[in-house]
Amino acid sequence: MQARSQQGRWLLRIDDLDTPRNIKGSAETILKTLEAFGLHWDDDVYYQSRHIDVYNDMINDLQRNKLIYPCTCSRKTLTASASDRSDIYPGICRDRQTPPDGPYALRIKTDNRIIAFQDDLQGLISHNIAEQDGDFIVQRKDRIIAYQFAVVIDDDMQHVNHIVRGFDLLDATPKQIYLQQLLGMVMPRYMHVPIIVDRQGYKLSKQTQAMAVDLTSPNRVIFELLVLLKQNPPIELQQASVTELLSWAIEHWNPLLLSNTPAVS
């Protein structure tokens, strides 16, 4: 809605780098579902798996500039060495000069700069990467490019200037901005919206065995989503077509109604 309400383009990206978790036919299912709901994307579908060479070139550039290093630490090692925050990397491999013989991940070196940005819904966000995250992984031990690294390059390649995503991804944004700065990329605008949760407060997802979206009544689902997003659709739109609902939603879209609402259920 945000893209269409601003006369912008809405781009579709398939995150398919994590090959062990890819399910055969899932990408096609996503496309068919979007089409059933009248959600037609602009430009060609962007598949991450088709841009691995670009990610690797960027990795090589960072290696030449000594901004990343190999890390052999296991979760067991990190848990054993953790103090108050087990999710902050303690820098065990930071001074490693040469790649080891066995499997290793690649970590980006962080510094004490403050990453600050104005989120369109959440306000001013300020984050110290080194203190709050430590050196984070850009390539896993299985050689798969990490999500944080790939999406930064994807956004730049697709000329994305406004990112709207769930509140649950807010903590990842400073890391991505840090990478944008290292790679000399332009920072997009960000809007982190509330996520939809179940009655127990869990995010609706495959991990929580959430039911698949109902394709038989897309207009009903869209109406209910507009209610959850606090857009206050008129009651007479309950029986409207998908096209009518989306047209109304684009014309009346007001994301500020979601301010100070971390989750909806």
pLDDT above 80 (res 112): yes
Residues 105, 229, single domain; the answer is: no
pLDDT above 70 (res 237): yes
Residues 203, 186, single domain; the answer is: no
pLDDT above 90 (res 17): yes
Residues 94, 189, single domain; the answer is: yes
Query: What pLDDT, on a 0 to 100 scale, did the predictor assign at position 86?
Result: 63
The three-state DSSP-derived secondary structure of 86-111 is CCCCCCCCCCCCCCCCCCCEEEECCC
Query: What pLDDT, on a 0 to 100 scale, did the predictor assign at position 85?
Result: 63
Residues 75, 189, single domain; the answer is: yes
Per the prediction, the chain carries an average pLDDT of 90
Q: From residue 262, how far is each of 56, 95, 195, 203 by CA, in Å?
A: 36, 40, 7, 11
Query: What pLDDT, on a 0 to 100 scale, did the predictor assign at position 77?
Result: 76
Quote the DSSP letter at residue 83.
S
Q: Which residues span the domain enclosing 127?
A: 47-193
Q: Where are the beta strands (DSSP E) in 25-122?
A: 42-47, 68-71, 105-108, 114-119
β-pair partners for 63: none
CATH of the domain at 75: 3.40.50.620
Residues 54, 154, single domain; the answer is: yes
Number of domains comprising the chain: 2
DSSP reduced 3-state for 45 = strand
Residues 56, 79, single domain; the answer is: yes
Residues 113, 77, single domain; the answer is: yes
Return the structure tokens found at 198.
């179940």
Q: What is the mean pLDDT of residues 29-51?
A: 95
Residues 103, 168, single domain; the answer is: yes
Is 21 inside a domain boundary?
no
DSSP reduced 3-state for 82 = coil
Q: Give the number of other CB atoms < 10 A from CB of residue 252.
A: 14
Which of residues 193, 211, 227 is at a domain's end?
193
Is 114 inside a domain boundary?
yes
Range 24-39 burial, b when 16+ CB lie within 10 A, else e:
eeebeeeeeeeeebbb
Residues 69, 135, single domain; the answer is: yes
Q: From residue 7, how far is each of 4, 167, 250 by CA, in Å?
A: 5, 24, 10
Is 37 inside a domain boundary?
no
